Amino acid sequence: MRYFTPEGELVPTPAEAAGKAENRVQRERQKAAKLAAKLRELGINPQDNF
């Protein structure tokens, strides 16, 4: 059985919501790693500045 909001939007299952959250976490980790690499490229140690 699937549920919909009053606006007609499908409510995700717990598994769908967890998968979406995991994807978001992975994207944020990649973004942080890219930023840290750029800072190191500029001679800045990210660990020293946080």
Task: State pLDDT tens for residues 1-50.
Answer: 899 999 999 999 999 999 999 999 999 999 999 999 999 999 999 998 65
Closest CA to 42 of 27, 50, 34: 34
H or E segment and range at residue 7: none
- Predicted local distance difference test score (pLDDT) of residue 48: 87
First to last CA, the chain: 47
- Predicted local distance difference test score (pLDDT) of residue 49: 66
Write down the pTM of the prediction: 0.70
- Predicted local distance difference test score (pLDDT) of residue 31: 98
Domain positions in the chain: 12-40
- Predicted local distance difference test score (pLDDT) of residue 20: 97
